[in-house]
Each structure stands twice: as C-alpha cells, then as structure tokens.
Amino acid sequence: MSSTAHPQPVLAFDGDCGFCQAVINQISARGQPTLRAVPWQFLPETATQPHRARLDHEVLLLHHDQVIASGAQALAEYLRHSPSRRCQLAGAAIQVPLLRNAARHIYRWVSRHRHRMPAGTPACAVPPARP
C-alpha cells in the first residue's frame, strides 16, 4: 500500500506567530522529527475549518480533519517522532500523568502570553474568545 494512501498526521501551528514559528524551528533543527509541522494557514481548509477556534489558541496534531492531540500533548507527540533520544525522552516525559497536567497548564499560560515571549510580536497575541 502506498504511503500516500494514509499520510502521517501533521502538526498544525499558527504560522502568523513568530514565537510559535521559532519554537517549531528549534525543535525541527535539533530533533528533526519525522512528522511534518505546517502552519495551519497552509493546510487545506477542509482540514482546518472545523478547528479554526482551537487553531488560534493551540497546536493541533491533525490526521486529515481529525484532531489526534492538542497543545502540550501534540508537542509531546511531535517530539516523540524524533530520532533524537533527548527529544523522545522529553516527549515521553510530557505524557507522564503527573507531568501531563503541569505541561497542560504551562502550555496554556505560554499560549496566552506568547506575544511576550522571545520572537513574539503583538501579532502573536491570542485573539479574544468569540462570544
């Protein structure tokens, strides 16, 4: 069976956010994960439209239009798909039950403040919640 019949999941992140791009660049350069990380703005609308509100706030690991993981757990999966033992261990650590909860809270805090992080700009600010 062709590898294109069931493509791998893709890590969708906010390509308009300098901080998000910088984090993905660092992980990609050091860990070279086998999963692709793509700005959600470059993915097919059929895959992103159902998740637009979430994509403004968190990275999503998508397979076609289905969310496999989000936020810290999506980053953990991305790290676990690296040939780097250090990245694999970091990804596995994030998924340990005690650390998973802490990682989720840290991820949410960073997401809300990403415009203040290194490489962040005012354009990185998470949009306010829709009414």
Mean pLDDT, residues 65-84: 96
pTM of the model: 0.86
CB 124 within 8 A of CB 17: yes
CA distance linking residue 116 with residue 62, whole number of Å:
27
Q: Is the pLDDT of residue 129 over 80?
A: no
Taking the CA atoms of 30, 62, 51 and 54 in sequence, report the sign of the dihedral they define.
Answer: negative
Q: Could you count the other beta carbons within 10 Å of the beta carbon of residue 33?
A: 22
| pLDDT tens digits, 16-26 | 999 999 999 99
β 10-13/36-39 pair status: parallel
pLDDT of residue 2: 38
